[in-house]
Structure 1
Amino acid sequence: MSTDQPQDNDPFGKKPPEDLPPYGGAPGGGPPAGGPPGGGQYGAGPRPGDPYGAGGPPPPGGPGNPYGDGYGAADPLAGMPPLASRLKRLLARIIDFLIVFVPVSLIYSAFFWNHWDPAEDNTKNTGLSVLVAIVYFIYEGLMLTARGQTVGKMATGIRVAMLEDGAVPRSAAGWIRAAVYCLPWIVPCCGPLFWLVNVLWCTWDKPYQQCIHDKAAKTVVVSAVQ
């Protein structure tokens, strides 16, 4: 009769060495080097019942999310100053409008002072609106491309920055922003309506509170106070 019998109820006839973990894992008891079958927590495949194959659902926004959410591009505002408040933006616009409108209207009125015909008031008022729009366009374009601020924005501590990197909107970007904001004023009927929708757009735009002129120039308005 053979004397080779399994020891200690070992059904396979021999025990693994004491220094090796069961099931062929790495020494020390850690998970197998290649991960459990199917990947899951340690591998690349899905865990049972995991429809995403990565331990959870993908971040919201989906591929190509331009605002950055851990899945798409990085957030362009990371490390930049906070967005400017809508109230400061409004105050800056009021200041800039007065800076342009008051001297232009005084000069325009003085030019027609001696031959102002009430019957031509509408025509002259339209001419004044066009002149203010053009002067405001030049004023804003020059100021934005030079330093990213108008006088109104300097007074309220805000500035215009490129959404991509926070730089001053030099060259085309500054002029595009100024044109989309100012020049619709001179278009009869639909111009004032477009202008109103444009300036109100930032009240519901997310996440950067951009107006239409910001979207056209790819800019954002942020705090200038560090």
Structure 2
Amino acid sequence: MQQGPAGPPWTPPPAPIGPSGDPLATFGDRFLAYLIDGLIVGLVTLVLTCPIFFFAFFLPLMNAENYDNGEFSAFPFLAFFLAYAAVFALQIIITYLYFVEYQLRSGQTVGKRVMSLRVLPIQPGRPLDRGILVRRYLVQFVAAIFVPFLNILDGLWQLWDKPFQQTLHDKAAETVVAKVVQ
């Protein structure tokens, strides 16, 4: 049996590189960072919204003697609606504070720090400012409230985006997410 010439062993292709020369984050790294961040924001929101729902559900029960005569009252529905609106507003505020104000300091959230990722402007040398992070936030979170499945499409967009593997919120803000080289 005749063998052909032995070639060099197969090596994986090099990691994609961002405009500033940093290796770009993989889908898996970004997804894990997003899960960590979602858990943190979710827990903070849960802790802050429990008292709201406690009063929204138990306040009408405390006034139950007023409802024993069979009269209809809109108070329980109003309490629930106001609680829901307060939780919605609180969720928007907490998400903004975490993904804009907290990330503004270093370009990293806790999830990105754990996964060694950082948000960078696509133009090398440009500083990461609040305007960039607000654009990311508006597309990633606020627009996703009103457009069904936008958050899924946004996250998956990087799988076929070339050359910088950007999501839609990265494109809107002209950013990339890169691995932090230590």
148 and 199 in structure 1: CA distance in 2 versus 1, 3 angstrom threshold: same
Query: Who is 1:205 aligned against?
Result: 161
134 and 185 in structure 1: CA distance in 2 versus 1, 3 angstrom threshold: farther
Verify the 8 A CA contact 1:202 1:211 in the aligned structure 2: yes
The structure whose RCO (Cα within 8 Å, separation 6+) is larger is 2
- How big is the shift at 1:95? 0.9
For residues 111-144 of structure 1, give each alpha carbon's deviation from its aligned partner in whole angstroms, at most 9, with x where no partner exists.
2214417x86985557534532331122111133
Is 1:215 the counterpart of 2:180? The answer is no
Larger helix proportion of the pair: 2
Structure 1 segments (4+ residues) deviating >4 Å: 119-127
Partner amino acid for 1:155? V
Is 1:143 the counterpart of 2:124? The answer is no
Partner amino acid for 1:99? I
Is 1:83 the counterpart of 2:24? The answer is yes
Is 1:195 the counterpart of 2:151? The answer is yes
Partner amino acid for 1:110? P
* Number of aligned residues: 148
- How big is the shift at 1:185? 4.3
For residues 138-177 of structure 1, give each alpha carbon's deviation from its aligned partner in whole angstroms, at most 9, with x where no partner exists.
2111133221111110011011111110655223112211
Is 1:103 the counterpart of 2:76? The answer is no
Q: d(CA) in 2 for partners of 1:166 and 1:148?
A: 14
Give the TM-score taking structure 2 as reference length: 0.69
Give the TM-score taking structure 1 as reference length: 0.57
Query: Who is 2:135 aligned against?
Result: 176
SS at match of 2:123: coil
For residues 16-53 of structure 1, give each alpha carbon's deviation from its aligned partner in whole angstroms, at most 9, with x where no partner exists.
xxxxxxxxxxxxxxxxxxxxxxxxxxxxxxxxxxxxxx
Q: d(CA) in 1 for partners of 2:57 and 2:22?
A: 50
Identity of aligned residues (%): 31
87 and 145 in structure 1: CA distance in 2 versus 1, 3 angstrom threshold: same
Verify the 8 A CA contact 2:170 2:176 in the aligned structure 1: yes
**What RMSD, in angstroms, separates the aligned Cα atoms of the two structures?**
2.7
Q: d(CA) in 2 for partners of 1:108 and 1:185?
A: 22
- Counterparts of residues 97-136 of structure 1 (less than 5 Å): 97-116=38-57, 123=81, 128-136=87-95
Unaligned runs of 5+ in 1: 1-75
- Which moves more between the two structures, 136-145 or 123-132? 123-132
Verify the 8 A CA contact 1:146 1:170 in the aligned structure 2: no
203 and 210 in structure 1: CA distance in 2 versus 1, 3 angstrom threshold: same
Between structure 1 and structure 2, the one with the greater Rg is 1
107 and 195 in structure 1: CA distance in 2 versus 1, 3 angstrom threshold: same
SS at match of 1:112: helix
Partner amino acid for 1:222? A
Query: Who is 1:162 aligned against?
Result: 121
126 and 87 in structure 1: CA distance in 2 versus 1, 3 angstrom threshold: farther
Verify the 8 A CA contact 2:101 2:130 in the aligned structure 1: no
Q: d(CA) in 2 for partners of 1:86 and 1:106?
A: 30
223 and 122 in structure 1: CA distance in 2 versus 1, 3 angstrom threshold: farther
